[in-house]
Amino acid sequence: MDARSTQAQPALSIEHIAVHFGGLVAISDMSFVVNEGEVVSLIGPNGAGKTTAFNVITGFLRPTQGEVRYRGSSLNNLKPHEVTSLGLARTFQRTSVFQSVSVFENVMIGLHRRGRSRLWDTLLALPRERESERELRARAAEILALVGIERRSRELAGSLAYGDQRLLGVALALAADPSMLLLDEPVSGMNATETARFMHLLDCLRGLGVTILLVEHDMPMVMGVSDRIVVLNYGRIIAEGPPAAIQGNPEVIRAYLGQGAKKRARD
């Protein structure tokens, strides 16, 4: 699980992906690689195709052409739950929790794939059922402690503060025990304190060796956590590189960051 030893090994590779919705080209020809243990951010203006790229990677959308590979195996014709079982878990931009069940139960749902009990164990209440449930409960408590919302575990997910709901969304993704996490705008709508907490959580995850692909508009955060940044505009990659290079890239500044960023980068 050591991040450094596996570095520079490509985990996720996107090869010449294109997505067309009828005549609309959402992604024209996208190729990039995320290495094991890396934190890569995907940024760009609204409508640039970031979420579309997420949906293609996680099997919610079929690409018009091209291939997505994770640790050597193609994800192209897999259903979302099959992609998850390969170790890729995602969070969503908006509704990312099961609103009307408790926080703890949310994580228990997320742990679905780890449960070992079969239908007969459940119906006959065999020891394996109880044992599996006990394991899941322990694991759920661990995950809640990791993301830092263990004190809320008895509350309904729908009644949580917004920032905590986002954290619960990450907890749900973590419950699938992923080797790679795809986070879709995880800190949007969070205040500064919540964002800081979230960045700390990302550091912890990176320490655990989890590879992370991030879509985010919060530039200070993106610049702070990313190893590399991929910039999309109109469905195509316009720049790729470490944060410092991206901040100074004239095309990125014109398309997305704006002139203010250039000044900030100089300061």
Query: In this structure, what DSSP letter does residue 98 have?
Result: -
Stretch that binds other proteins, among 6-14, 173-181, 194-202, 258-266 (CB under 8 A): 173-181
Q: Categorise residue 80: left if φ over 0, alpha if ψ from -120 to 50, beta otherwise.
A: alpha
Contact status: 96 vs other proteins (CB under 8 A):
yes
Contact status: 149 vs other proteins (CB under 8 A):
no
Sign of CA dihedral 239, 241, 246, 249: negative
Contact status: 152 vs other proteins (CB under 8 A):
no
**CA gap 84, 21 in Å, rounded:** 25
Q: Which residue has the tokens 């760009």?
A: 44
User: Which residues within the stretch 120-139 sit at the binding site for other proteins (CB under 8 A)?
Assistant: 122-123, 125, 129, 132-133, 136
| Residue 49: Cβ within 10 Å count | 25
The two beta strands, 73-74 and 65-70, are antiparallel
Residue 77 CA: distances (Å) to CA of 65, 135, 176 = 12, 33, 20
Contact status: 151 vs other proteins (CB under 8 A):
no
Stretch that binds other proteins, among 10-18, 119-127, 202-210, 251-259 (CB under 8 A): 119-127
Contact status: 219 vs other proteins (CB under 8 A):
no
Stretch that binds other proteins, among 93-101, 192-200, 202-210, 250-258 (CB under 8 A): 93-101
Which residues bind to other proteins, rule: CB under 8 A? 58, 60, 79-81, 84-85, 89-90, 92, 95-102, 104-105, 108-113, 115, 117, 119, 122-123, 125, 129, 132-133, 136, 153-154, 156, 158, 172-173, 175-176
